[in-house]
Every structure is written in structure tokens, then in C-alpha cells.
Amino acid sequence: MPIALSQSLEAEFSIGMLRFYADLAAATPVEETRPSQQGKETIVRRSPLGVVAAIVPWNYPVLLAVSKIAPALAAGCTVVVKPSPPGAGRAIATVCAGLLRPVTLELGGKSAAILLDDVDMDTIMPNLQYITFMNNGQTCVLCSRVLAPASRYDEIVDAIATRASSLTIGNPLDPSVDIGPMATSDHRDRVLGYIEKGKGEAKLVAGGGRPKGLERGWFVEPTVFAYMTNSATIAQEEIFGPVLSVIPYDDDADAVRLANDSPYGLGGTVFSADTERAKAIARQVETGSIGINGYPIAFGSPFGGVKDSGLGREFGPEALNSYLKLKSMYITG
């Protein structure tokens, strides 16, 4: 992880999340009284769910651990934390279903950045770069699909390819570096395998291999594919690396259709000079979270996925509720 991103999300964001749940714990009553239509009143009592198993992905280990530990401890639960084995989500869901145990799952994504036809590329490029190549492409909410209007397609492809080719690759402890290595050699080989697959499905316009001069280390060039359809393997499957697909669309309705043409629904972004127009598009995208002209994720708001991206919500007061069990005490006199 590049050091600037680590300082921002692993450190500052995680500290803010701990403070948020500390304040929420102090402000959340153990019991509250509600009026009752059938009796005198109802007392709703909150108590800790119990022992919680928190399985943490490797890509943002501190942030994602704290996102579970903070609300669980605020609720009064005991927490057992462990790293995530590959493909754990569905297996855990199956076990929890058999045991009738509650579970929250975040299972990845293939989010879309929708560029409306009024965007100024120079203005949006810093935020577009962030949401498409964040953490070397190893980010669940990454917008690894860019949907570009057909009327401006060549211009947008050229701008994105130029930006990707200009990114600095190297030691992630160097503050000037934009793209660090993949997490493991096996993961690098997996990403390179998808790139080879993409060469038969689309036109390679930037990157496409291991960077020259960095033979040591598990590096992959920021890679951009274009002149392709949304049905391509590289546009449908989560690659989890610095690989971007730029896909043309005809009009706003077609952009929404393509954004929703995915088994996933975790993140997304709409870029436009008209914020209200962007909001109207964002409301139609089937996803658990979406940004307007950027993706400033907020720990005070619920985060999670729909479709194959999972179930339940983390962050916000909604996450605290996941670690509480409720009892209603009906009072008649």
C-alpha cells in the first residue's frame, strides 16, 4: 500500500472510527421506553450479541479490522480476529445458515465509474485516478470499469491511458510512488493472467505487463483496456489489480444498464458537471454505496453490498446494531 494511502485510511480513518463508536456507545441507552397501543408501555433492552468472529481481508488490514472490532466492543461483545483465507465468504454464509447465526459479509465488487457527457477530464482526473487505481488496484470498491459516452469515447480513452502511463511505480514507502507491488507473487501472476485474457477481448491502450527496471518485486503496470464490451471477462470478474476497462455507452439509460450489468453491487461513482443530474443517475445504480464526483467513504454511514457483493452493513450506527440483540418487555401495569 502506498504510504500516503496507508497514513490516510489505515491510520487517520481508523482512529476516527474508534472515536465514532466510543461516542456512539456512550450515547446509546441500554434500555428505552416506547409507547404501547395494547398495554402501558414497552421497554426495549439492548445487550451484547456474544462472542464475535471477525475475519479480516488482507488489503486494508487495520481499517477493516477496526471496522469490526470498534462496533463489536462498543456493543459489549468479545471479538476473535483472524486473517481471511481465500473464498471464505460463501463458505461462512453456508455454515451460518445451518447454525442460524447472524452474519455480515462483504464479498468484493466490480464497480463502475460513470462519466457523463459533460465532464471536464482535467477536473475529475485526480478523483478518477483514486477510485480506479487505489491501493495498486487491490481495493474492493475499486471502479475497475469506466463507462464513457460514445460521443467522447476516444478523447476519454486517451486521457485515461495517458494518466495511467504517467503513474509512478515503485517502493510504496516512497511518498512520490502511486503504484506499489501486488501482495504476493501468486496474486501478481493471477493479475497478469487476466491481462493476457484481456488482450484477446479488448484493445490494450496502456501498460499490460511488468514494469521495466523493477524485475524484483511483484509489480504490475497500471493497465487500461478499451474498445470492448461489458460482457468481456475482464469487465465482469474481479481482478483485484491495477487493470481498468473503459466501456462505451450511448445515453444515460444505457450507462445505468451497463453499470447494473454485473453480478456485483458494492461501490460506484458518477462524474458530472451537474451534481443533480449525477444524483439522478446514482439513484438508479444497484449498489450499496456510490459517490458523486469522487468516493469519500464515510465511517458514519452504512457500507456494504448487494447481489454477490454480500449482505449486511458495516460502518455507521447500523454496524452497532449488528452486534446487539434486542429484547422487548411488554408492560401492562
Catalytic residue, chosen from 10, 140, 221, 314, is 140
In Å, how far are 9, 62, 228 from 1, measured between CA atoms?
A: 10, 12, 30
Question: How far is the C-alpha of 201 from the C-alpha of 223, rounded, in Å?
Answer: 14
269 and 114 in contact (C-beta within 8 Å)? yes
Looking only at Cα atoms, what is the longest distance across the chain? 80
Catalytic residue, chosen from 10, 12, 32, 106, is 106
Which one, of 165, 130, 163, 160, lies nearest residue 147 by Cα?
160
96 is catalytic: no
Location of C-alpha cell 504510504: 3
69 and 80 in contact (C-beta within 8 Å)? no
140 is catalytic: yes
Q: Give CA angle at 178 (176, 181), nearest 5°.
A: 115
The residues carrying an active-site annotation are 106, 140
